[in-house]
Amino acid sequence: MPQEKLPFTREQIAEIAKTHPTPFHIYDEQGIIENLDRFQKAFSWADFKEYYAVKAAPNPYLMKLLQKKNVGFDCSSLAELELSERVGSVGEEIMFTSNDTPAGEFKRAAELGAIINFDDISHLDYYENTVGKLPDLVCFRYNPGELKSGNDIIGNPTDAKYGFTREQLFEGFAACRDKGITRFGLHTMVASNELDEQYFVETARLLFEVIGELTESLGITFEFVNLGGGIGIPYTPEERPVNLETVGEGIRKEYETLITGKGLSPLKIYMECGRMITGPYGYLVTKVRHIKNTYKTFVGVDATMANLMRPGMYEAYHHITVLGKETAEATEVYDVAGSLCENNDKFALDRKLPPIERGDFLAIHDAGAHGHAMGFNYNGKLRSAELLLRSDGSVVHIRRAETLNDLFATLDFTSISEFK
Ligand SMILES: *Cc1c(COP(=O)(O)O)cnc(C)c1O
């Protein structure tokens, strides 16, 4: 069920909109923190650490909130590494999980002392030839291939471009061991937006088993396992959130059987969730500009899919609340659309909603991950501002909206009149 109770009222949003024009993304600090507390508590039996997948909402203020709660950062690009450094998280507070990696990014990750999670066995040589000596701690991303069925968003592991095969794990770790490396980690990431608790328990079991075999066959000791991200969120009213306690307990049982039970050294448990950390606690707030009646009734809003791509791109459902009409009956059927010259620029299709008027504010739910972050400038649309609703009720502007000057910053008009 999408967050039923909004953390703000119509009056509050109307007030905020006086100084921060719509559309904007607004994040709910209290919601983020309470959920994070619950997540960490579900793994309190373990030496657990979450590395937030920065790509989900790369905003330094949100990162600061998470950092205070002992969350590290999962980075996959240079910009994400730089953001982590600028908020003051370096060293093993960063997990660098990249793919098709440029040498410069390995180098920057190494300078920052990040944990480097290699995506491919050929990257070991590439790293040595371009950066230098391999780090003291190496982690490999495992692609379990046919051992694990994928889920809808990530697809089948055998088709996925990510990770080492099982054989390559043995070969790669042996090579590292022979070079004198003593610190090891193992990672996988096989799901996205998965709501089935057992999926995560099975992934953990698979990794614990492989770690047992690698330990036995290579005589190396693993320091951590990184179970990846992929915990889903209920976008539709029919869906239920993942029971984090069930996931934590299920993984604990596997750990007790396959790690402690087999006398293996204690393993730290890492995860790198993005979506479930900020997704449900971010809203895209937009104002109704026009109501258009043709073959259907269209609600035209001031946001577009450039502010939130998921509905337009894969018809993803995002719940919508008409502010001030939370309890009104949904007697109408609307398509809620933006202004892009692109017919899939719609936030909702045939959605039952209460009667909507020009000037109403709509809150589009679950926009706190892969929302603003996936924004783009097609049709010259500008990226919206990001606001943070603090736990004390105050509102902080955490990113300003783009201007036309930002959009044109890469163009030089000074010689355009002479250009023939
Ligand atoms: C995207 C990504 C994540 C986060 O995934 P969520 O579905 O947002 O939890 C974690 N790790 C890697 C390597 C990723 O690419």
Nearest to 55 by CA among 92, 83, 32: 83
Tens-place pLDDT, residues 125-181: 999 999 999 999 999 999 998 776 655 555 677 888 899 999 999 999 999 999 999
**Axis crossing angle, helix 29-42 with helix 60-68, rounded to the nearest 10:** 40
What is the distance in A from the centroid of ligand 1 to the CA of 135? 23
Q: Which residues are CB-neighbours of 307 under 8 A, at least 6 positions away?
A: 23, 25, 284, 286, 338, 371, 372, 375, 381, 383, 384
Instruction: Identify the pLDDT of residue 190.
Output: 86
Centre of ligand 1 from the C-alpha of residue 10, in Å: 33
* Overall average pLDDT of the 381-387 stretch: 97
- Locate 340 and state its tokens: 């892009």
Q: Nearest CA to 278 among 45, 32, 92?
A: 32
304-326: pLDDT as tens digits: 999 999 999 989 999 999 999 99
For residue 150, what pLDDT is reported? 59
DSSP state of 197: H
pLDDT surpasses 60 at 375: yes
Residue 287 has pLDDT above 60, yes or no: yes
Instruction: Look up the pTM and report it.
Output: 0.96
**Residue 314 annotated as binding?**
yes
Is 341 assigned a catalytic role?
A: yes
16 pLDDT tier (thresholds 50, 70, 90): very high
Nearest C-alpha neighbor of 121 from the set 161, 163, 159: 163
Ligand 1 atom closest to 117 (CA): 13
**Locus of tokens 């949100």:** 62
Return the domain boundaries, the chain.
29-278, 280-407
33-42, pLDDT tens digit by residue? 999 999 999 9
Domain 280-407 homologous superfamily, CATH: Lyase, Ornithine Decarboxylase; Chain A, domain 1 (2.40.37.10)
User: What does the pLDDT read at residue 326?
Assistant: 96
Would you put residue 370 in left (φ > 0), alpha (ψ -120 to 50) or beta? left
79/104 Cα distance (integer angstroms): 12
Catalytic residue (one of 75, 139, 176, 341): 341
Q: Is the pLDDT of residue 235 over 80?
A: yes
User: Does the annotation flag 368 for ligand binding?
Assistant: no
Ligand 1 site, residue 117, Cβ cutoff 6 A: no
Fold matches, 29-278 and 280-407:
no
Q: How confident is the model at residue 167, as a pLDDT?
A: 97
SS3 state of residue 415: coil
Residue 3 pLDDT: 64
Instruction: Report the alpha-carbon distance of residue 90 to residue 114 in Å, rounded.
Output: 7
C-alpha 344/C-alpha 337 separation (Å) is: 8
* Best residue for ligand 1 mutational test, from 62, 96, 275 (most atoms within 8 Å of Cβ): 275
320 lines ligand 1 (CB under 6 A): no
29-278 belongs to which CATH class? alpha beta
Most ligand 1 atoms within 8 A of CB, residue of 272, 277, 310, 366 to mutate: 272
| Average pLDDT of span 348-374 | 98
What tens digit of pLDDT does each residue of 78-91 get?
A: 999 999 999 999 99
